[in-house]
Chains A and B, each alone.
Chain A
Amino acid sequence: MPINVITSGFATTIQDLGRPGYYHLGIPMGGAMDRFALRCANMLVGNDEGAAGLECVFMGPELEFTQDCTFAVTGGDLPPKLDGEVLESWTAIPVKAGQKLSFDYLRSGARAYIAFSGGIDTPLDLGSRSTYPIGALGGIDGRAVQPGDTLPLGAADGKAKTGAHIPEKLRRMPARETELRVLPGLYWHRITEASGARFFEETWKVASEADRMGYRFKGGTPLEFVDREPPFGAGSDPSNITDACYPYGSVQVPSGTEPIILHRDAVSGGGYFMIGTVISADMDLIGQLQPNVPTRFVKVDMDTALSARRDRAKALDAVRAHLA
């Protein structure tokens, strides 16, 4: 018995933890931009942490349940309303067949995650249900959710605990003025020392071109390049390289003007140089940034990146312990 989609919100997609293993063919891992939030939502409703849920951007869908189940909303602050009554996020909420779920307006963050007990049970493509519209993989026919769609649910194993709640201190959301930690590298040597220092000193802003493929930033000073003879095959612009792979989280700066951080639906490669990579611990935060959010890039070394990664794992363990 499926969930009926009445209205679909804006770019609402089915996402799980993605399909790693095909990046060498230009098929990105995909999956929830804020993986922590999706894992939390699944834990609240008693699912495997990697079960498929809905990723909602800026606004929520309107859904009608045709079976009893439990749902939870996490991530950006998008308050759920059940038959019009506003309820708490980060909480396991039981529903009856016939009830309708809608959403209040977004208070903070950019993406909310809805998990349902049993998980969304659309077909797997390359091992994942994550929607990748460019390659027409996952989701429903490889596209975002539309009004009139029905979302099938898998069998719930009865582990959902009604009323289970994740308190604010266990959550992780970006601050009003965000800091993203970057490990310099890749083609860092292509810009001058002064330009590199300025990149980290200035405050940038999230541009309107910000989606699952990448987040663009604006407002900083254009980068200054070290002079060179263009290598054969690279192209004549100083920001060109012989087309190469792009790491997830890598910061490319076409023509040296506006940095773009590639995210879960990244293009796997191309001809623009990159000055470094956002550390794995901060990738989830990017998915919660709205356009115009002031952002600073903070230079870190590998030890800091690894210790931040351990802290992230601990934060997830704390949620697991809290709900156990």
Chain B
Amino acid sequence: MTSRYTFGGDEHVFVEVSEEMSLEAFFTTLSMTNAVRDAKIDGVTEICPANASFQIKFDPDVIHPDALMDRLKSMEATAAKQEPKLTTRIIEIPVYYQDPWTHETLMRFRERHQDPDATDIEYAARINGYDSVDAFIAAHSGAPWFVSMVGFVSGLPFLYQMVERERQIQVPKYLRPRTDTPKLTVGYGGCFSCIYSVRGAGGYQMFGVTPMPIYDPEQKTGYLKDFMVFFKPGDIVKWKPIDRAEYDRCLAAVEANTYAPRIREVVFSLDEFNADINGTNARLEEALYAD
């Protein structure tokens, strides 16, 4: 994997680790951006990792763009040798699939969709070869997901499905983006799932909604007291399908500020994962539900 380096104007270096998405590309991105952070280079002001690429913002009055570019290139070989392993957390996120709110929204934007006669999840199930929406939900919530990028808007996670590539769900985005998406919609575009942290425009297919806030600028939510954004790259997510009654219970707990997400610390090794995907996922799930 050889990275491609390019400038984003006179204030950004953009590094494409790989054109295509893979966990290998994500781990290289993570070790590169960690190395840049540790190097504390004068003039570097922002370090933004993405799925298979990253971006460094800098002040060209402090460091010449070419000098920074050379410095970054010199770090690639060492970063590539880093063991793709990290101590992270696995989080259970409840999802009310086919909820009435995303349903109402998707019906309003049918003319912007590839298949106006089906719902988003019916369309996604069909084009991915599933017999039923239930079978599709079982697949979407069956294996864990890797948070490979946080961004677009306020703390929105992009999630990558931890299964063999041939089993990965792929769905095109809407033909034209919607002007509205309910807050906390669980969406899908390309090979990524996402959670819309705030209400707003969006182009991803809408499958359901989670009652669990992931962005709180007022920092009143108990588990967001220390920081307003919940996710960070490297987090692992397990979706838990819930029904309306469970959704309402979770929401009441969120409103009473007693909702506590199920979170456990785990160690993830990419080599171990590649050697035994199902075994690794089973071990992750075991850690999540051990107690």
Which residues does A use to contact B, with CB under 8 Å?
20-21, 23-27, 125, 134-137, 142, 183, 185-186, 188, 231-236, 240-245, 247-250, 267-271, 274, 276-281, 302, 305-306, 309, 313
Contacts and interface: CB of A to CB of B under 8 A. Distances in A.
A135 B215 contact: yes
Contact of B14 (A20, A232, A245, A271): A245
A183 B7 contact: yes
A250 B217 contact: no
Nearest to A282: B9
The 8 closest A-B pairs by CB, nearest first: A233-B21, A247-B8, A277-B9, A231-B20, A245-B55, A268-B151, A135-B154, A247-B12
B198 A232 contact: no
Interface string B151-170: 11111101000000100000
14 contacts: A135-B217, A185-B8, A231-B19, A235-B173, A243-B51, A247-B8, A247-B9, A250-B12, A269-B48, A270-B152, A302-B66, A306-B60, A309-B60, A313-B61
Contacts of B154: 25-27, 134-135
B288 interface: no
B8 A269 contact: no
B150 interface: yes
B47 A183 contact: no
Interface of B: 6-12, 14, 16, 18-22, 45-55, 57, 60-61, 65-66, 149-156, 158, 165, 172-173, 189-192, 197-198, 200, 215, 217-218, 229
Given A242-B51, A244-B53, A269-B50, A25 B155 contact: yes
Contacts of B16: 244
B150 to A, nearest CB: 5
Contacts of B54: 245
A250 B151 contact: no
Given A232-B20, A234-B190, A269-B149, A24 B49 contact: yes
A243 to B, nearest CB: 6
Contact of A21 (B22, B46, B189, B218): B46
A270 B9 CA distance: 18
B65 to A, nearest CB: 6
Contacts of B172: 235-236
Interface centre among A125, A231, A235 (most CB of B within 10 A): A235
A280 B48 CA distance: 19
B192 to A, nearest CB: 7
Given A25-B229, A135-B215, A233 B20 contact: yes
B50 A245 contact: yes
A11 to B, nearest CB: 16
B48 A24 contact: yes
B155 A306 contact: no
A214 to B, nearest CB: 12
A62 B9 CA distance: 39
B48 A23 contact: yes
A72 B32 CA distance: 46
Contacts of A185: 6-9, 14
B174 to A, nearest CB: 12
A28 B211 CA distance: 26
A305 to B, nearest CB: 4
A278 B48 CA distance: 19
A31 B155 CA distance: 19
Contacts of A267: 151-153
Contact of A245 (B18, B151, B156, B198): B151
A249 B11 CA distance: 10
Nearest to B177: A254
A277 B152 contact: no
B7 A24 contact: no
Given A134-B200, A280-B11, A142 B49 contact: no
A279 B52 CA distance: 25
Nearest to B45: A20
B217 A183 contact: no
B278 to A, nearest CB: 21
A280 B46 contact: no
Contacts of A23: 46, 48, 57, 151
A233 B173 CA distance: 12
A279 B198 CA distance: 31
Contact of A280 (B6, B10, B173, B192): B10
Contacts of A280: 9-11, 60
Contacts of B18: 231, 242
A242 B6 contact: no
Nearest to A308: B10
A183 B152 CA distance: 23
B156 A26 contact: yes
B48 A268 contact: yes
Given A232-B165, A233-B52, A242-B19, A135 B198 contact: yes
Contact of B151 (A137, A233, A269, A306): A269
A67 to B, nearest CB: 29
Contacts of A24: 46-49, 150-151
Contacts of A313: 61
Interface centre among B53, B66, B165 (most CB of A within 10 A): B53
A309 B62 CA distance: 13
B45 to A, nearest CB: 6
Nearest to A269: B151
B39 to A, nearest CB: 16
Contacts of A242: 18-21, 51-53, 190
B53 A245 contact: yes
A309 B51 contact: no
